[in-house]
A and B are shown apart, each in its own frame.
Chain A
Amino acid sequence: MALEASGVPSIAIHTHVFARLARATALANGMPRTRQAFVPQPIVGRSPTNLRAYIEGSDPNSGRPFMQEVIEGLTGALTEEDLRGSSFERSTPRLLAPDTEDNLRQMFIENRWTDFLPIILPTEERVAEMLKGTSHPSDKVVGRLRPARFREFWEFTVEKVAVNAVMAGARPEYFPVILALAASSITARASSTTSFATISVVNGPIRHEIGMDAGIGALGPYNQANATIGRAYGLLSQNLQGGSVPGESYMGSLGNWYAYSAVFAENEERSPWEPLHVQHGFKPTDSTVSVFFGGWYTHAGYGPRETWQEKMRRCLTATEHYNPPLLVLDPIAARGFVELGFDKQKLIEWCAENARLPAREYWDNQWIRTLVHPLAVAGVEPFATRLKAEPEELVQMFQPEDINIVVAGGETQSAWKMFGGAYRGNATISVDAWR
Protein backbone atom coordinates (compact mmCIF):
# COMPACT_ATOMS: atom_id res chain seq x y z
CA MET A 1 0.00 0.00 0.00
CA ALA A 2 2.97 2.31 0.55
CA LEU A 3 3.87 1.81 -3.12
CA GLU A 4 0.35 2.81 -4.20
CA ALA A 5 0.68 5.95 -2.11
CA SER A 6 3.93 6.69 -3.98
CA GLY A 7 2.20 6.41 -7.35
CA VAL A 8 3.20 2.85 -8.26
CA PRO A 9 0.26 0.64 -9.26
CA SER A 10 0.58 -2.56 -7.27
CA ILE A 11 -1.09 -5.87 -6.67
CA ALA A 12 -0.50 -8.21 -3.74
CA ILE A 13 -0.60 -11.97 -4.18
CA HIS A 14 -1.81 -14.08 -1.27
CA THR A 15 -2.73 -17.71 -0.78
CA HIS A 16 -6.49 -18.16 -0.74
CA VAL A 17 -6.85 -19.00 2.98
CA PHE A 18 -5.76 -15.43 3.75
CA ALA A 19 -8.50 -13.78 1.67
CA ARG A 20 -10.62 -12.51 4.58
CA LEU A 21 -7.56 -11.33 6.47
CA ALA A 22 -6.11 -9.56 3.41
CA ARG A 23 -9.37 -7.74 2.72
CA ALA A 24 -9.87 -6.75 6.36
CA THR A 25 -6.33 -5.37 6.46
CA ALA A 26 -6.90 -3.38 3.26
CA LEU A 27 -10.10 -1.90 4.70
CA ALA A 28 -8.40 -0.96 7.98
CA ASN A 29 -5.72 0.83 5.94
CA GLY A 30 -8.30 2.95 4.13
CA MET A 31 -7.70 1.21 0.81
CA PRO A 32 -10.45 -1.40 0.54
CA ARG A 33 -10.12 -1.55 -3.24
CA THR A 34 -6.43 -2.40 -3.11
CA ARG A 35 -5.78 -4.98 -5.78
CA GLN A 36 -5.29 -8.55 -4.59
CA ALA A 37 -5.04 -11.88 -6.37
CA PHE A 38 -5.01 -15.33 -4.83
CA VAL A 39 -3.30 -18.64 -5.49
CA PRO A 40 -3.95 -21.96 -3.73
CA GLN A 41 -2.35 -22.75 -0.40
CA PRO A 42 0.42 -23.89 0.13
CA ILE A 43 3.41 -22.27 -1.56
CA VAL A 44 5.89 -23.90 0.81
CA GLY A 45 7.16 -27.22 -0.45
CA ARG A 46 5.67 -26.85 -3.93
CA SER A 47 7.88 -27.54 -6.95
CA PRO A 48 8.45 -24.96 -9.70
CA THR A 49 6.06 -27.00 -11.85
CA ASN A 50 3.37 -26.80 -9.16
CA LEU A 51 3.89 -23.06 -8.80
CA ARG A 52 3.70 -22.55 -12.54
CA ALA A 53 0.39 -24.43 -12.50
CA TYR A 54 -0.90 -21.98 -9.86
CA ILE A 55 0.11 -19.09 -12.12
CA GLU A 56 -1.53 -20.60 -15.18
CA GLY A 57 -4.60 -21.67 -13.23
CA SER A 58 -7.52 -19.82 -11.73
CA ASP A 59 -7.73 -17.56 -8.70
CA PRO A 60 -9.49 -19.86 -6.19
CA ASN A 61 -11.53 -16.95 -4.81
CA SER A 62 -12.77 -15.28 -7.97
CA GLY A 63 -12.67 -18.32 -10.24
CA ARG A 64 -11.12 -16.15 -12.97
CA PRO A 65 -7.72 -16.81 -14.56
CA PHE A 66 -5.07 -15.80 -12.05
CA MET A 67 -2.92 -13.83 -14.48
CA GLN A 68 -5.97 -12.00 -15.80
CA GLU A 69 -6.57 -10.80 -12.24
CA VAL A 70 -2.93 -9.70 -11.99
CA ILE A 71 -2.81 -7.84 -15.31
CA GLU A 72 -6.18 -6.16 -14.77
CA GLY A 73 -5.09 -5.18 -11.28
CA LEU A 74 -2.27 -3.09 -12.74
CA THR A 75 -4.06 -1.64 -15.75
CA GLY A 76 -7.30 0.04 -16.75
CA ALA A 77 -9.36 2.92 -15.46
CA LEU A 78 -9.92 3.52 -11.76
CA THR A 79 -13.38 3.92 -10.26
CA GLU A 80 -14.48 6.78 -8.06
CA GLU A 81 -14.11 4.51 -5.02
CA ASP A 82 -10.56 3.58 -6.09
CA LEU A 83 -9.67 7.27 -6.13
CA ARG A 84 -11.37 8.12 -2.89
CA GLY A 85 -10.37 5.29 -0.61
CA SER A 86 -12.44 4.75 2.47
CA SER A 87 -12.39 7.03 5.51
CA PHE A 88 -14.41 6.21 8.59
CA GLU A 89 -14.43 6.70 12.31
CA ARG A 90 -14.62 3.69 14.56
CA SER A 91 -15.16 3.38 18.24
CA THR A 92 -16.57 1.01 20.81
CA PRO A 93 -19.11 1.99 23.45
CA ARG A 94 -18.28 2.04 27.13
CA LEU A 95 -21.45 0.20 28.12
CA LEU A 96 -23.69 -2.20 26.25
CA ALA A 97 -27.46 -1.82 26.10
CA PRO A 98 -29.12 -3.32 29.21
CA ASP A 99 -30.29 -6.89 28.69
CA THR A 100 -30.93 -10.13 30.54
CA GLU A 101 -28.03 -12.21 31.81
CA ASP A 102 -28.78 -15.02 29.34
CA ASN A 103 -28.95 -12.65 26.38
CA LEU A 104 -25.74 -10.89 27.38
CA ARG A 105 -23.91 -14.19 27.75
CA GLN A 106 -25.10 -15.20 24.32
CA MET A 107 -24.00 -11.84 22.88
CA PHE A 108 -20.49 -12.26 24.31
CA ILE A 109 -20.26 -15.72 22.76
CA GLU A 110 -21.63 -14.67 19.37
CA ASN A 111 -19.27 -11.69 19.21
CA ARG A 112 -16.33 -13.95 20.11
CA TRP A 113 -15.47 -11.88 23.17
CA THR A 114 -14.83 -15.01 25.26
CA ASP A 115 -12.58 -18.07 25.13
CA PHE A 116 -15.79 -20.17 25.11
CA LEU A 117 -15.47 -21.05 28.76
CA PRO A 118 -18.02 -19.38 31.07
CA ILE A 119 -17.21 -15.78 31.96
CA ILE A 120 -18.17 -13.40 34.74
CA LEU A 121 -20.27 -10.65 33.19
CA PRO A 122 -18.51 -7.28 33.64
CA THR A 123 -21.20 -5.32 35.48
CA GLU A 124 -20.59 -1.79 36.70
CA GLU A 125 -20.28 -3.01 40.29
CA ARG A 126 -17.75 -5.73 39.47
CA VAL A 127 -15.61 -3.47 37.30
CA ALA A 128 -15.66 -0.77 40.01
CA GLU A 129 -14.44 -3.39 42.50
CA MET A 130 -11.66 -4.51 40.11
CA LEU A 131 -10.54 -0.88 39.69
CA LYS A 132 -9.85 -0.74 43.45
CA GLY A 133 -6.91 -3.07 42.72
CA THR A 134 -4.87 -0.19 41.26
CA SER A 135 -4.20 3.45 42.12
CA HIS A 136 -4.25 4.43 38.45
CA PRO A 137 -7.27 6.36 37.08
CA SER A 138 -9.73 4.32 35.05
CA ASP A 139 -9.30 6.49 31.95
CA LYS A 140 -5.50 6.21 31.85
CA VAL A 141 -4.22 4.70 28.60
CA VAL A 142 -2.37 1.47 29.40
CA GLY A 143 -1.04 0.63 25.96
CA ARG A 144 -1.72 -0.67 22.49
CA LEU A 145 -1.92 -4.18 21.08
CA ARG A 146 -2.32 -5.76 17.65
CA PRO A 147 -2.57 -9.37 16.48
CA ALA A 148 0.25 -9.12 13.92
CA ARG A 149 2.84 -6.68 12.63
CA PHE A 150 0.83 -5.72 9.57
CA ARG A 151 -2.37 -4.98 11.54
CA GLU A 152 -3.28 -1.67 13.15
CA PHE A 153 -2.84 -1.03 16.88
CA TRP A 154 -5.90 -0.68 19.10
CA GLU A 155 -5.60 1.38 22.29
CA PHE A 156 -7.06 0.70 25.72
CA THR A 157 -7.50 2.17 29.18
CA VAL A 158 -7.26 0.84 32.73
CA GLU A 159 -11.05 0.44 32.73
CA LYS A 160 -11.03 -1.71 29.59
CA VAL A 161 -8.40 -3.98 31.14
CA ALA A 162 -10.53 -4.22 34.30
CA VAL A 163 -13.52 -5.34 32.22
CA ASN A 164 -11.55 -8.27 30.83
CA ALA A 165 -10.04 -9.09 34.23
CA VAL A 166 -13.57 -9.39 35.66
CA MET A 167 -14.60 -11.63 32.76
CA ALA A 168 -11.68 -13.97 33.50
CA GLY A 169 -12.70 -14.39 37.13
CA ALA A 170 -9.72 -12.48 38.54
CA ARG A 171 -9.74 -10.81 41.96
CA PRO A 172 -8.91 -7.11 42.39
CA GLU A 173 -5.61 -7.89 44.13
CA TYR A 174 -4.41 -9.60 40.92
CA PHE A 175 -5.12 -6.50 38.86
CA PRO A 176 -1.59 -4.93 38.98
CA VAL A 177 -0.16 -8.12 37.42
CA ILE A 178 -2.84 -8.09 34.73
CA LEU A 179 -2.21 -4.40 33.99
CA ALA A 180 1.52 -5.09 33.68
CA LEU A 181 0.81 -7.84 31.15
CA ALA A 182 -1.53 -5.51 29.24
CA ALA A 183 1.20 -2.85 29.21
CA SER A 184 3.79 -5.28 27.81
CA SER A 185 2.85 -4.54 24.16
CA ILE A 186 3.04 -8.33 23.65
CA THR A 187 -0.23 -9.93 22.61
CA ALA A 188 -1.19 -13.31 24.01
CA ARG A 189 -3.34 -13.81 20.90
CA ALA A 190 -0.86 -13.45 18.06
CA SER A 191 -2.36 -14.19 14.65
CA SER A 192 0.67 -16.15 13.42
CA THR A 193 0.01 -19.26 11.34
CA THR A 194 2.46 -21.00 13.67
CA SER A 195 0.08 -20.77 16.65
CA PHE A 196 2.13 -18.78 19.12
CA ALA A 197 1.01 -18.54 22.74
CA THR A 198 2.61 -16.76 25.68
CA ILE A 199 3.98 -18.19 28.92
CA SER A 200 4.40 -15.67 31.76
CA VAL A 201 6.43 -15.85 34.97
CA VAL A 202 5.72 -13.73 38.06
CA ASN A 203 8.56 -12.77 40.41
CA GLY A 204 8.91 -10.84 43.65
CA PRO A 205 6.73 -10.21 46.71
CA ILE A 206 3.47 -9.96 44.73
CA ARG A 207 3.55 -13.77 44.38
CA HIS A 208 2.87 -14.19 48.09
CA GLU A 209 0.63 -11.14 48.43
CA ILE A 210 -1.89 -12.60 45.99
CA GLY A 211 -1.36 -16.26 46.85
CA MET A 212 0.19 -17.48 43.61
CA ASP A 213 1.42 -21.06 43.30
CA ALA A 214 5.11 -21.68 42.67
CA GLY A 215 5.12 -25.16 44.23
CA ILE A 216 3.17 -28.36 43.57
CA GLY A 217 1.19 -28.02 40.34
CA ALA A 218 2.45 -24.48 39.61
CA LEU A 219 1.98 -25.00 35.89
CA GLY A 220 -1.45 -26.57 36.25
CA PRO A 221 -5.04 -25.57 37.09
CA TYR A 222 -4.60 -25.51 40.87
CA ASN A 223 -4.54 -21.86 41.86
CA GLN A 224 -7.00 -19.04 41.25
CA ALA A 225 -4.37 -16.35 40.75
CA ASN A 226 -2.25 -18.39 38.33
CA ALA A 227 -5.31 -19.50 36.35
CA THR A 228 -7.25 -16.25 36.13
CA ILE A 229 -4.27 -13.95 35.52
CA GLY A 230 -3.33 -16.12 32.55
CA ARG A 231 -6.90 -16.23 31.32
CA ALA A 232 -7.29 -12.47 31.72
CA TYR A 233 -4.15 -11.92 29.65
CA GLY A 234 -5.66 -13.95 26.83
CA LEU A 235 -9.09 -12.32 26.98
CA LEU A 236 -7.72 -8.78 27.18
CA SER A 237 -5.38 -9.50 24.28
CA GLN A 238 -8.12 -10.69 21.95
CA ASN A 239 -10.66 -8.04 22.91
CA LEU A 240 -8.42 -5.00 23.28
CA GLN A 241 -6.51 -5.60 20.02
CA GLY A 242 -9.68 -5.85 17.94
CA GLY A 243 -10.33 -9.57 17.91
CA SER A 244 -8.84 -13.01 17.46
CA VAL A 245 -11.24 -14.55 14.98
CA PRO A 246 -10.16 -17.64 13.00
CA GLY A 247 -9.67 -16.82 9.32
CA GLU A 248 -9.87 -13.08 9.93
CA SER A 249 -7.61 -11.99 12.76
CA TYR A 250 -6.27 -15.38 13.87
CA MET A 251 -4.51 -17.70 11.42
CA GLY A 252 -2.84 -20.26 13.71
CA SER A 253 -3.26 -23.49 11.79
CA LEU A 254 -3.37 -25.78 14.83
CA GLY A 255 -4.02 -23.33 17.66
CA ASN A 256 -2.36 -23.67 21.06
CA TRP A 257 -3.69 -24.94 24.39
CA TYR A 258 -1.29 -22.66 26.27
CA ALA A 259 -3.43 -19.79 25.00
CA TYR A 260 -6.12 -20.62 27.58
CA SER A 261 -3.86 -19.73 30.50
CA ALA A 262 -0.13 -20.05 31.08
CA VAL A 263 1.08 -18.00 34.06
CA PHE A 264 3.04 -19.24 37.06
CA ALA A 265 5.26 -17.89 39.84
CA GLU A 266 8.95 -18.68 40.23
CA ASN A 267 9.81 -20.67 43.35
CA GLU A 268 12.47 -18.17 44.41
CA GLU A 269 12.67 -19.41 47.98
CA ARG A 270 13.60 -22.98 46.96
CA SER A 271 15.77 -22.04 44.00
CA PRO A 272 19.54 -22.23 44.37
CA TRP A 273 19.92 -19.42 41.84
CA GLU A 274 19.01 -15.77 41.50
CA PRO A 275 15.45 -15.20 40.31
CA LEU A 276 14.58 -14.38 36.71
CA HIS A 277 13.71 -10.73 37.33
CA VAL A 278 17.03 -10.06 39.08
CA GLN A 279 18.83 -11.38 35.99
CA HIS A 280 16.95 -8.73 34.04
CA GLY A 281 18.01 -5.82 36.23
CA PHE A 282 15.31 -5.69 38.91
CA LYS A 283 15.85 -5.87 42.67
CA PRO A 284 14.74 -9.01 44.55
CA THR A 285 12.14 -6.86 46.32
CA ASP A 286 10.61 -5.70 43.03
CA SER A 287 7.54 -7.45 41.68
CA THR A 288 7.52 -8.22 37.97
CA VAL A 289 6.00 -10.38 35.29
CA SER A 290 8.06 -11.72 32.37
CA VAL A 291 6.50 -12.76 29.07
CA PHE A 292 7.86 -15.57 26.93
CA PHE A 293 6.55 -15.79 23.39
CA GLY A 294 6.08 -19.22 21.89
CA GLY A 295 4.68 -22.36 23.44
CA TRP A 296 5.40 -24.18 20.19
CA TYR A 297 6.76 -27.31 21.89
CA THR A 298 7.16 -29.02 25.26
CA HIS A 299 9.84 -31.54 26.20
CA ALA A 300 10.20 -33.17 29.60
CA GLY A 301 12.94 -34.89 31.55
CA TYR A 302 14.01 -36.00 35.01
CA GLY A 303 17.26 -35.94 36.86
CA PRO A 304 19.98 -34.95 36.06
CA ARG A 305 20.86 -38.63 35.75
CA GLU A 306 24.05 -40.15 34.37
CA THR A 307 22.99 -39.67 30.76
CA TRP A 308 21.50 -36.19 31.24
CA GLN A 309 23.76 -34.62 28.62
CA GLU A 310 22.52 -36.95 25.87
CA LYS A 311 18.91 -36.38 26.92
CA MET A 312 19.31 -32.61 27.06
CA ARG A 313 21.06 -32.54 23.67
CA ARG A 314 18.18 -34.49 22.11
CA CYS A 315 15.64 -32.08 23.55
CA LEU A 316 17.61 -29.01 22.48
CA THR A 317 18.07 -30.20 18.92
CA ALA A 318 14.39 -31.18 18.75
CA THR A 319 13.30 -27.61 19.49
CA GLU A 320 11.85 -25.45 16.75
CA HIS A 321 14.91 -23.38 15.95
CA TYR A 322 13.07 -20.07 15.72
CA ASN A 323 11.60 -20.46 19.22
CA PRO A 324 14.43 -20.78 21.76
CA PRO A 325 13.95 -22.80 24.94
CA LEU A 326 12.63 -21.74 28.33
CA LEU A 327 13.69 -24.39 30.86
CA VAL A 328 11.56 -24.78 33.98
CA LEU A 329 13.33 -26.84 36.62
CA ASP A 330 11.90 -28.26 39.81
CA PRO A 331 14.09 -27.12 42.76
CA ILE A 332 15.38 -30.70 43.17
CA ALA A 333 16.52 -30.74 39.53
CA ALA A 334 18.10 -27.30 39.90
CA ARG A 335 20.04 -28.43 42.98
CA GLY A 336 21.08 -31.54 41.06
CA PHE A 337 22.75 -29.32 38.47
CA VAL A 338 24.39 -27.33 41.26
CA GLU A 339 25.87 -30.58 42.60
CA LEU A 340 27.30 -31.17 39.11
CA GLY A 341 28.99 -27.76 39.31
CA PHE A 342 26.55 -25.65 37.33
CA ASP A 343 25.27 -22.23 38.20
CA LYS A 344 22.41 -20.90 36.09
CA GLN A 345 24.61 -19.06 33.58
CA LYS A 346 26.92 -22.04 33.18
CA LEU A 347 23.93 -24.31 32.44
CA ILE A 348 22.59 -21.79 29.91
CA GLU A 349 25.99 -21.67 28.22
CA TRP A 350 26.18 -25.47 28.17
CA CYS A 351 22.77 -25.58 26.45
CA ALA A 352 23.79 -22.96 23.87
CA GLU A 353 27.06 -24.77 23.16
CA ASN A 354 25.43 -28.19 22.82
CA ALA A 355 22.36 -27.20 20.79
CA ARG A 356 23.90 -27.88 17.38
CA LEU A 357 22.60 -29.20 14.09
CA PRO A 358 24.16 -29.89 10.70
CA ALA A 359 23.98 -26.64 8.71
CA ARG A 360 21.94 -28.42 6.04
CA GLU A 361 19.25 -29.24 8.59
CA TYR A 362 19.37 -25.87 10.32
CA TRP A 363 18.90 -23.89 7.11
CA ASP A 364 16.11 -26.17 5.90
CA ASN A 365 13.86 -25.08 8.78
CA GLN A 366 10.94 -23.06 7.38
CA TRP A 367 11.23 -20.13 9.76
CA ILE A 368 15.00 -20.03 9.74
CA ARG A 369 14.71 -19.90 5.94
CA THR A 370 12.07 -17.17 5.98
CA LEU A 371 13.22 -14.96 8.83
CA VAL A 372 16.90 -15.66 9.52
CA HIS A 373 18.30 -16.42 6.07
CA PRO A 374 17.76 -12.83 4.77
CA LEU A 375 19.69 -11.52 7.79
CA ALA A 376 22.51 -14.00 7.11
CA VAL A 377 22.67 -12.89 3.47
CA ALA A 378 22.83 -9.28 4.67
CA GLY A 379 25.87 -10.17 6.80
CA VAL A 380 24.23 -10.03 10.22
CA GLU A 381 26.09 -12.16 12.79
CA PRO A 382 25.97 -14.85 14.08
CA PHE A 383 23.75 -15.91 11.18
CA ALA A 384 26.22 -14.98 8.43
CA THR A 385 28.84 -17.32 9.92
CA ARG A 386 26.29 -20.14 10.15
CA LEU A 387 25.49 -19.63 6.47
CA LYS A 388 29.15 -20.15 5.54
CA ALA A 389 29.20 -23.61 7.18
CA GLU A 390 29.51 -26.75 5.07
CA PRO A 391 26.24 -28.76 4.86
CA GLU A 392 27.29 -31.39 7.44
CA GLU A 393 29.13 -28.94 9.72
CA LEU A 394 27.42 -28.51 13.10
CA VAL A 395 26.15 -24.99 13.68
CA GLN A 396 24.96 -23.45 16.92
CA MET A 397 21.17 -23.00 17.06
CA PHE A 398 21.01 -20.48 19.90
CA GLN A 399 23.09 -17.86 21.62
CA PRO A 400 23.23 -17.99 25.46
CA GLU A 401 21.08 -14.85 25.64
CA ASP A 402 18.30 -16.70 23.78
CA ILE A 403 17.91 -19.29 26.57
CA ASN A 404 16.20 -18.79 29.94
CA ILE A 405 15.89 -20.89 33.08
CA VAL A 406 13.22 -20.57 35.78
CA VAL A 407 12.79 -22.66 38.92
CA ALA A 408 9.27 -23.78 39.87
CA GLY A 409 7.60 -26.84 41.28
CA GLY A 410 6.87 -28.58 44.56
CA GLU A 411 9.79 -30.99 44.94
CA THR A 412 7.72 -34.14 44.60
CA GLN A 413 9.93 -35.12 41.65
CA SER A 414 13.23 -34.05 40.13
CA ALA A 415 11.42 -32.93 36.98
CA TRP A 416 12.18 -30.38 34.29
CA LYS A 417 10.37 -29.13 31.23
CA MET A 418 11.57 -27.31 28.16
CA PHE A 419 9.10 -24.96 26.46
CA GLY A 420 9.33 -22.88 23.34
CA GLY A 421 9.70 -19.46 24.95
CA ALA A 422 11.39 -16.51 23.26
CA TYR A 423 12.29 -13.61 25.53
CA ARG A 424 12.15 -10.57 23.27
CA GLY A 425 13.32 -7.10 24.19
CA ASN A 426 12.16 -5.70 27.52
CA ALA A 427 9.79 -8.53 28.31
CA THR A 428 10.03 -8.17 32.11
CA ILE A 429 7.50 -5.58 33.22
CA SER A 430 7.19 -3.93 36.62
CA VAL A 431 4.06 -4.93 38.51
CA ASP A 432 4.78 -2.30 41.15
CA ALA A 433 4.27 0.43 38.53
CA TRP A 434 0.66 -0.70 38.21
CA ARG A 435 -0.25 -1.01 41.88
Chain B
Amino acid sequence: MDRLLTVYDPRGYPPNVTGKRLAQRHESLDGKIVYLVDCLFDNSEAFMEQLQHWFAQHLPAVVTRIIKPRESWEDDPDMRAKIVADGNAAILGVGL
Protein backbone atom coordinates (compact mmCIF):
# COMPACT_ATOMS: atom_id res chain seq x y z
CA MET B 1 0.00 0.00 0.00
CA ASP B 2 1.26 3.49 -0.87
CA ARG B 3 2.51 5.60 2.01
CA LEU B 4 0.10 8.33 3.10
CA LEU B 5 1.38 11.90 3.08
CA THR B 6 0.12 14.91 4.99
CA VAL B 7 0.41 18.15 3.05
CA TYR B 8 -0.68 21.74 3.54
CA ASP B 9 -3.65 23.41 1.92
CA PRO B 10 -2.13 26.13 -0.35
CA ARG B 11 -5.07 28.52 -0.23
CA GLY B 12 -5.31 31.80 1.68
CA TYR B 13 -8.02 32.80 4.11
CA PRO B 14 -11.25 34.21 2.66
CA PRO B 15 -13.26 36.85 4.51
CA ASN B 16 -16.58 35.91 6.08
CA VAL B 17 -19.62 37.03 4.15
CA THR B 18 -22.40 39.11 5.67
CA GLY B 19 -25.75 38.90 3.92
CA LYS B 20 -27.24 42.08 2.53
CA ARG B 21 -30.89 42.52 1.56
CA LEU B 22 -32.14 43.88 -1.71
CA ALA B 23 -33.96 47.21 -1.78
CA GLN B 24 -37.75 47.11 -1.91
CA ARG B 25 -38.98 46.95 -5.50
CA HIS B 26 -41.65 49.13 -7.12
CA GLU B 27 -44.92 47.73 -8.41
CA SER B 28 -44.32 49.61 -11.64
CA LEU B 29 -41.72 51.98 -13.05
CA ASP B 30 -44.38 54.35 -14.40
CA GLY B 31 -43.68 57.89 -13.24
CA LYS B 32 -40.43 56.81 -11.64
CA ILE B 33 -36.94 58.20 -12.30
CA VAL B 34 -34.57 55.47 -13.47
CA TYR B 35 -30.88 56.36 -13.60
CA LEU B 36 -28.93 54.69 -16.40
CA VAL B 37 -25.41 54.48 -14.99
CA ASP B 38 -22.80 54.49 -17.75
CA CYS B 39 -19.86 52.64 -16.19
CA LEU B 40 -17.49 54.23 -18.76
CA PHE B 41 -16.41 51.02 -20.45
CA ASP B 42 -15.61 51.58 -24.11
CA ASN B 43 -18.93 52.06 -25.99
CA SER B 44 -21.11 51.73 -22.87
CA GLU B 45 -22.24 55.31 -23.48
CA ALA B 46 -23.72 54.24 -26.83
CA PHE B 47 -25.42 51.29 -25.15
CA MET B 48 -27.00 53.49 -22.50
CA GLU B 49 -28.23 55.91 -25.16
CA GLN B 50 -29.94 53.04 -26.96
CA LEU B 51 -31.43 51.88 -23.67
CA GLN B 52 -32.78 55.38 -23.10
CA HIS B 53 -34.31 55.36 -26.59
CA TRP B 54 -35.94 52.01 -25.85
CA PHE B 55 -37.61 53.38 -22.71
CA ALA B 56 -38.78 56.51 -24.57
CA GLN B 57 -40.36 54.35 -27.23
CA HIS B 58 -41.81 51.49 -25.19
CA LEU B 59 -42.29 52.88 -21.66
CA PRO B 60 -42.62 56.67 -22.09
CA ALA B 61 -44.01 57.06 -18.57
CA VAL B 62 -40.58 56.15 -17.18
CA VAL B 63 -38.18 59.08 -16.74
CA THR B 64 -34.63 58.01 -17.59
CA ARG B 65 -31.45 59.95 -16.91
CA ILE B 66 -27.98 58.91 -18.01
CA ILE B 67 -25.33 59.50 -15.37
CA LYS B 68 -21.60 58.76 -15.25
CA PRO B 69 -19.10 58.25 -12.43
CA ARG B 70 -16.05 60.49 -12.36
CA GLU B 71 -13.67 57.61 -13.09
CA SER B 72 -13.86 54.10 -14.51
CA TRP B 73 -13.80 51.26 -11.97
CA GLU B 74 -13.84 53.65 -8.99
CA ASP B 75 -16.70 54.23 -6.61
CA ASP B 76 -18.12 57.74 -6.98
CA PRO B 77 -19.89 58.66 -3.72
CA ASP B 78 -21.20 61.95 -5.19
CA MET B 79 -22.85 60.12 -8.08
CA ARG B 80 -24.35 57.54 -5.72
CA ALA B 81 -25.68 60.29 -3.46
CA LYS B 82 -27.38 61.94 -6.42
CA ILE B 83 -29.04 58.68 -7.46
CA VAL B 84 -30.20 57.99 -3.91
CA ALA B 85 -31.56 61.55 -3.57
CA ASP B 86 -33.33 61.83 -6.92
CA GLY B 87 -33.78 58.34 -8.29
CA ASN B 88 -36.21 55.51 -7.82
CA ALA B 89 -34.15 52.81 -9.55
CA ALA B 90 -30.86 52.29 -11.34
CA ILE B 91 -29.58 50.27 -14.26
CA LEU B 92 -25.80 49.90 -14.32
CA GLY B 93 -23.74 48.84 -17.29
CA VAL B 94 -22.24 47.70 -19.35
CA GLY B 95 -19.47 46.25 -17.28
CA LEU B 96 -18.07 43.19 -15.61
The interface residues of chain B lying within 8 Å CB-to-CB of A154 are 11-15
A44-B42, A100-B3 known; A5 vs B20 contact (CB < 8 Å):
yes
Q: Does A117 contact B (CB under 8 A)?
A: no
Closest residue of chain B to A367 (Cβ to Cβ) is B42
**Cβ-defined contact, B17 with A28, below 8 A:** yes
The interface residues of chain B lying within 8 Å CB-to-CB of A371 are 71-73
Q: Mark A48-68, 1 if CB is under 8 A from B, else 0.
A: 100110111000000000010
**Cβ-defined contact, A2 with B75, below 8 A:** yes
Enumerate B3-24 residues with CB–CB distance to A below 8 Å.
3-24
A8-B88, A9-B25 known; A90 vs B17 contact (CB < 8 Å):
yes
**Cβ-defined contact, A1 with B20, below 8 A:** yes
**Cβ-defined contact, B71 with A11, below 8 A:** no
What's the A-B contact tally at a CB cutoff of 8 Å?
Answer: 265
CA distance A22 to B89 in the complex (A): 20
**Cβ-defined contact, A85 with B12, below 8 A:** no
Closest residue of chain A to B14 (Cβ to Cβ) is A90
Main secondary structure of the interface of B (DSSP, over half): loop
Interface size, chain B (Cβ < 8 Å): 63
Enumerate B47-96 residues with CB–CB distance to A below 8 Å.
47, 49-51, 53-54, 58-59, 68-73, 75, 80, 83-84, 87-96
Enumerate A236-276 residues with CB–CB distance to B below 8 Å.
239-242, 251
Interface size, chain A (Cβ < 8 Å): 102
CA distance A155 to B12 in the complex (A): 6
**Cβ-defined contact, B42 with A369, below 8 A:** yes
**Cβ-defined contact, A104 with B96, below 8 A:** no
CA distance A122 to B22 in the complex (A): 43
The interface residues of chain B lying within 8 Å CB-to-CB of A152 are 14-15
Closest residue of chain A to B59 (Cβ to Cβ) is A71
Question: Whole-angstrom distance from the CB of A4 to the nearest CB of chain B?
Answer: 5
Choose among B6, B12, B44 the residue that contacts A242 (Cβ–Cβ < 8 A): B12
CA distance A52 to B27 in the complex (A): 26
Q: Which residues of A contact B (CB under 8 A)?
A: 1-15, 18, 21-22, 27-31, 33-35, 39, 43-46, 48, 51-52, 54-56, 67, 70-71, 74-78, 82-96, 98-102, 104, 108, 113, 121-124, 127, 145, 148-150, 152-157, 159-160, 163-164, 167, 235, 239-242, 251, 366, 369-371, 373-375, 378
Q: Which residues of B contact A (CB under 8 A)?
A: 2-29, 34, 40-44, 46-47, 49-51, 53-54, 58-59, 68-73, 75, 80, 83-84, 87-96
